[in-house]
Structures are given as C-alpha cells and as structure tokens.
Chain A
C-alpha cells in the first residue's frame, strides 16, 4: 500500500464499478451526443442518482454486513406523507415535521434491527413485514386524517432552499446532501474501525462477535441509518414536488439494490466500498436517463437498461476476481 501504481488502482474494490460507469457514459455520449454532458444533461442523471444514492449507501453497508433492508420502499412515502400532513394539511412548522420524519425512521429502523438480531428471521423477511406494515400505517392514517391519499404542501422558502430546491434551475439541492453524507460515510467506513467491523460482520458474524465487535449494536445502527435515509429522501421529494402520495417509492427497492450491486457489493456480504456504491448509483442513473438523449425507440428502453446493467455487473465481476486473485510478483 506504500506506492500508488496503476495496477493497485485497478485492484481497488471500486475499480470495476468505475470502469462500468465510464463505459455507460461513453456509450450515451456516442449515441446521445454532447447534450448528455452539458449542465442540464448532467443534472438529468445526477438528480436521479442523488435520490437513490442517499439510500443506496446505508443499504449497501447493510448488504456488506450481510443484511438487507427492503422496508425503504414504504419509508420514502412515509417521509413524504409525514411532512405533507404535518406541515401541509396542518400548519406545524417544518422543523417539527423533520424531527418526526427522522424520529419515525429511528423507530422503524430500530424495530427492523432489533427483530433481525434477536430472532433468527432473515432480514429480508423482517423488512418485508415492516415494508407492508409501514405502507398500511401510512395509508390508514392518511385517509383517516385527510380523507385522501395525496396531500399538497407549500414549504417556506428557507426549507425549500435547504431540502427541495433547484440550484441554478437544474440541480436538485439533494445532490449536495448526497455528497455530504457520502463524505461522512467514506470517513467512517474506510478510515475508522467501524468500517472494518462492518466488513468483518459480513464475512463471518460469529467470528466478528467473538473478536469483540458489538455486532448487535452495529446492525441496529445500520438499519436505523437506512430507514432514516429513506424517510429523508421522501421528505425532500415532498418539499420539491409540493405534493406527497401514499403509493410512491416501491420502485426504489429494486433500483437501490441494483445500484449497490452494480457498485460492486457482493449480495452475500463482506465485499464492497462506499465509493463503489456511488459509482454504481451513477451508472444506474446514467443508464436510465441516458435513453432520453438517444434516438432509440422508447419502447426498447427497458431492454437497453437491462442489457447495460448486466454488462456493467459482468465488468465488475471480472475486475473483482482480478483483484482477489492478484499476488505480487516475487522479486
């Protein structure tokens, strides 16, 4: 690790994800033209990436630790509806709604984490349960309180500027949030002991616990992070679009997991990186939005998205096996 060489860069866990990202950007540059990399073109996929990315990192960390959280699918509308009902339907100040949104994230995340560590039920099933439970709770309460499933909200300028505004008319402010939380995650995961703990848990939970890692606490914290992140994204969406719906967000479950896997995280845990997840998220967003810059018949978009994502993952796998099988030459 002393010298930085081209070879060692290629063997980093995010190398495959990075090259996959470059490849899809090059693809759409060729077929979509330069508009794709003009400021408004960049905003096209960066906005989508930021919304997914904020959730993808904690979900990715959970996957590295060997767990999964699909309850994010209903935490997004929960975040939207809480802020819309509290500050749109009623007139509570937004800061109060934000506390409730994040507080709800803590509660649901804690329930997920607590059930996962204290029962033998797999996290997929536990969070499937909370996915439906939260969706039902949000729907029931929304109809009970407002009589509808769609509530409008007009936030004051300050809160719009911080959570749901366009910078320069094109970039969602949530992009800055994404960059900020990414920096924090990179620091904690790759430069403190907590990161190694997470990787160790994904590798072998028993040994990790025997080595003195507080696996229970860490798992619960990760579930709280993913639930809060999803609720936060939902809240920002409500403030940006001035409207909240009960039934949004389910597509995020798939989109987030795809982004994480394209980013080089192994489904079985123990391998991946925060930067890789960021590249994976950008790749996913580019593939999804790039289509609109090309002249391809739109009816084929899903096919193109599927093929390109597969190509990106395969590329990733090739680099990962190169990285894992590498042994320095003997001098």
Chain B
C-alpha cells in the first residue's frame, strides 16, 4: 500500500511538474511543415528554422518541425501533417502548399479550428489570399523561371533545354514554362526534356541523357536544370559532348560545386530562392503574429528569384560553405 502511495505521489508530482511549465508558458507553439530531411534544399530551410527557433524560445515558445518522410504522395502527406499539427493544438501553422487540391481542405480545417496559417516555400501569394492565410513567404516558380529565361536570352542563348527529372510535378513544370516564356520574349526557344523515373538519383544516367540530347541537336546553346545536383550531372554531360564552351549552364538552386563552377566561369548562373530566409522568416513572423499581432504589410513576401552569377559569387560561396546558401 505504501509503495502504491509512493508511486502515485511520484506520478502526481511528475504530472504537476510536467504541466507547470506549460501553464506558465507565454510564447507561441509553432508547427512548421517541411520537406524530407535529406533534401539539400530543405536542409537550408531547416537552418533558417533552427536559427529562428532561438528567437521563439527566447519568447518562451516552442517550434515543432514536422518533416515529410517521402515525396511519393506529397500533397496527401503534407495535408496529414497539417491535421497532426491541428490535433496537437498548436497556436499557428506554417506550411508549403505544394499540391493545393490535396492540401487546401486541411489548411481550411486548421483555420476553422482557430489556428492561423502561414504559407511558405510553395503556394504563392494568390493562394494565400484565397485561403485567408496570413501571408506567403517564398518564391514564385513561374516568375523565377521567367527571370532565368530572360537571363539566358540576355546572355546570347537561343535554344535552351529545360531538364526535368521529376516530370509531372507542378512547380517544376512551372519553372520550365517560365524559362520557355522568358526565352520567347527575345525570340528564343526552350523545350522540356522529361527524364524517366529510373534516371532520378543516378547522376550518370542524367549526364548521359543530356549528352545524347546535345549530340542529337547542334543548335542547343543552353541547359537549365531544376536542381543543383542535376546541374553537376549536366556539366559532365556537356563536357562529354564537347560543348562546355558553346552551351551555357543555368540551374535552379545551388550547391558548393555549382557555386565553384560559377566562380570558375563554367556555369552561367543559378536561380536562388534563398531557402534560409524562407525558414527563418516563416518562423519569426509566425512568432511575432501569435505573440504581438505583428504582420507584414507586403504580401507576398518574395525571397526570390535572385540570380547568382559571376558578379556576386564570392559572398554567396562563403554562405554556401556554411550551409546558408
């Protein structure tokens, strides 16, 4: 009996201790949903979230970073994570709206439950306004592609291939469409090269596909890739086709190898959507909104497209080596 009492006492004490800080807590409980942990791009967003968490914790709040395990069913899985956050009773949710058809319902359910939502990384300003989200922080895919297409055209490219290693993904199609329309403004053309799923993640297969495409068409003078790793492969493909001198390489996002190519004049440019800022701003603005009712007057908050080329490579490279760019 006494043992039972002791155990109960201990449990009660623990429960009280466990509850006490929550009761005393004044800060915001923020849920932020993101991509896979081994996604190089989301690693930089994660960096921004980590840094912003310091601010949230200083205000007595917490950040719960919910990451997707796979991209096989990205819309449905993201919607489920939104519902997980709702059931945890968080104060605010930040989420990329990758597949609006699949996610809108969950986002609306969150708002119906009184939880404000911030869109970031994917979705766009129009979508945020339509859903009644606080704001959209990130890049807009089509304008980013458009900027890339214009940049290509300004630098003399007339026939650009947009290499798409995940054909069918709406945001990537939008990037390639943007490239095409940006080129078209100056009379250039751009076609998409969709690669089969068996090539995804196999750099040799991607490189060889690009090489074969270059060999098949002498008029191609620009290659655009939708990710930084694909740009590594594209460069090898160009090398093998003997077209490094005559074909300009551009990519969405960047890694250190890509930045070094830009520094050494082997890659023309990279489109930067500044993922660190996306993660950092999403969390700090969510914190400010819940705690103090702060909100940006500008909407959407665009973190891109920025263009990294020979003119600004040094500072970017420094950030890249530290995992911020």
Contact = CB atoms under 8 A, between A and B. Distances in A.
Interface string B226-270: 001100110010011110000000000001110010000000000
Interface in B180-226: 192-205, 207-209, 211-213, 215-216
B198 A293 contact: no
Interface in A42-70: 43-45, 47-48, 51
| B contacts with A: majority SS | helix
Contacts of A47: 204, 207-208
Contacts of A150: 40, 228-229, 255-257
A147 B323 contact: yes
B38 interface: yes
Contacts of A288: 196, 198-199, 205
A317 B231 CA distance: 40
A149 B38 contact: yes
A146 B199 contact: no
Nearest to A148: B323
Nearest to B164: A298
A289 B40 contact: no
Contacts, number: 135
B193 to A, nearest CB: 6
Contacts of B257: 150, 152, 241-243
Interface residues of A, number: 48
B232 A242 contact: yes
Interface string B292-325: 0000000000000000000000000000101100
A305 interface: yes
A89 to B, nearest CB: 9
Nearest to B325: A148
A35 to B, nearest CB: 7
Nearest to B236: A241
Contacts of B101: none
B36 interface: yes
Nearest 10 A/B pairs, CB to CB? A147-B323, A292-B212, A243-B257, A152-B257, A150-B255, A247-B38, A148-B323, A152-B256, A251-B201, A302-B196
14 contacts: A35-B215, A48-B204, A135-B38, A143-B43, A147-B322, A148-B323, A151-B256, A241-B207, A243-B257, A249-B201, A252-B202, A301-B194, A302-B196, A305-B198
Interface of B: 36-40, 43-44, 47, 167, 192-205, 207-209, 211-213, 215-216, 228-229, 232-233, 236, 239-242, 255-257, 260, 320, 322-323
